[in-house]
Structure 1
């Protein structure tokens, strides 16, 4: 089923087959893969768990490239209610799911479920059974010694550079082959560990503070899950008692503009790792200082631990004594009240 909205002229070569090779040179694929191989296993990718975005042309930096499957051979594919939605003027026929060994080379197989649908909108596609690679004139995909397969989502014709052209939003895609297993880091497989971000907020010093003092706050954003956290944003709230100086993170993110830290995007945080950030500011007025941060990501499975705040006493307001006469009066007053207190304690 296809719901289309836009039809326009395109420059570039469209793919004409559901399963296709990039080149006719399959020498690296075919080592040990002569003839048809009977599959003994499968891995099912479920795009209702996580949406897969199709960005730019092959091997571009923003493309989603994942190691979801390990094993010996990939021999075929089967998909049910695979739902693809394009963005802007991109065509359904341009979104490619590319399967290869871990090198991301040109000897893999392109799966183009929307082949010949040169229109924009939403399409729902079914294979009506297993599409065997050798039956379609292709050869089985062979892994290297690391037994890893990569999956890359890309556009055969890129309508918008550095922008999303399409999304796989629902349905399942089953990959058939020999000794195939899903990796623990695959965000499209049910039951695998997801992303779980948590945040810690600390300060490097405590004690007595004065107006004008410089403070350094430390933020640790932890990814406790088994896959990378994507589109991570830090939403910082800075105390009005502070003047912002700089915020920097160990992924290279840096700013000296206080407006940036309200919604500061950082790099993806790898599975089971942390991002360390430092916020520098100076005290401009007396009173309690309270800072806070909320961290978000596209694929965070638990948002209950995404907020942290830090409160410190801040600077003490000191009233200056500007002349000797006032100082004398202050001392005299203290002595007077101290004398009355002493006399009140002496029995008559």
Structure 2
């Protein structure tokens, strides 16, 4: 529609609307000028792996450099781990709402995603009781957690992660995937709680995923990384070496400068996101029939529109509602069904205050 000149407001973006910080761009440019354009070790630039380990040490978690793999985005790191660890007959718990690639990758590996709903009443977070109930199935081999969450922005506290860890201690055959790609984009603390730091006794069966896309506004650079036990790292490294080899060399030199950025750079982004969060939550909650929880991190809201959609209601489902808002209000957003949570819509507030105000106003008028 935009290509046709139609004025569409999009809340569907999954990336920051800030430019990559200048020191990062300059670092990559300097690497290009220095001829850093050849192959390097397929598991990543040694200096970058060391910098990642030091960054985690600064947070309070000791990480071995040999357990770090730099990949072509966090998505590849997840893909490597899924294919290294799961096979047909395995089942993997993926709490809904979930990022769309989690169940898709599990299915590609021939395993079965199990998607219990963590609803609005628990701030979209899996409870220890839910987890224990799901783990009654002996075929469960994995659990995928994301904090802060895409699509909800919900953040697991250290106490909540500890409660889940206490359950998992009783199930030694289950590997935990902890996706922390948004961990620096939180509003009530400097960084969100880390699963392994809270549950060190589970480190030998936890794979942590992180990267540069979100916190450093580097989505197009395609740089992510994993931290995993030695045997898992070895298997993932073999898979990566025979698929893509190393992530782009000069981009990894830029990432070195990302990890050197002063904390106030990311804090400044968080301040802007926090202001926008308040703006969009207040505007959505002012619409009669809409309930929008206030997220603790990332840059998404996941409001409940179920009063408008479902059997006997104005719209058959959230897909029909999203289509109506695009056609009638010229507002693009993502139906909750895509994330395993019908009745919701995901809106990204990685956009300007003016667009947020205008977009939500259009939604309100279209639903009046």
**More RCO (CA 8 Å, sep 6+):** 2
Specify which structure has the higher proportion of strand: 1
| Both structures adopt the same fold (TM-score exceeding 0.5) | no
Q: Which has the higher helix share?
A: 2
TM-score (norm 2): 0.27
TM-score (normalised: structure 1): 0.28
Larger Rg: 1
